Structure 1
């Protein structure tokens, strides 16, 4: 039987290298987050333009 020592039982595992799948996942998530941020910016810009246009449009009286 192998002799158990502190160094053989409690080995520190080094961080494993990033696999190609991990890299792809990381890149795609970053792309999706950037697209969502751009979409939200566009939504806010259009919403503000609509609210400003509605505020500056005179209300037509009903007949």
Structure 2
């Protein structure tokens, strides 16, 4: 029997790819391509599909 899960939120601007590497077209002295990273302007590179960090609180004395 299939399990039903709730849909996870995905950023509408980056479709779940919050940080990407873009090649600049130039090469390094050892022949590799230079890349820069770019973050999504809407979610600022934080992937909304990942579970948020949980915080633990101590209740009581």
Higher share in helix: 1
> Higher relative contact order at CA 8 Å, sep ≥6: structure 1 or structure 2?
2
Higher share in strand: 2
Question: Normalised by the size of structure 1, how large is the TM-score?
Answer: 0.24
Question: Normalised by the size of structure 2, how large is the TM-score?
Answer: 0.25
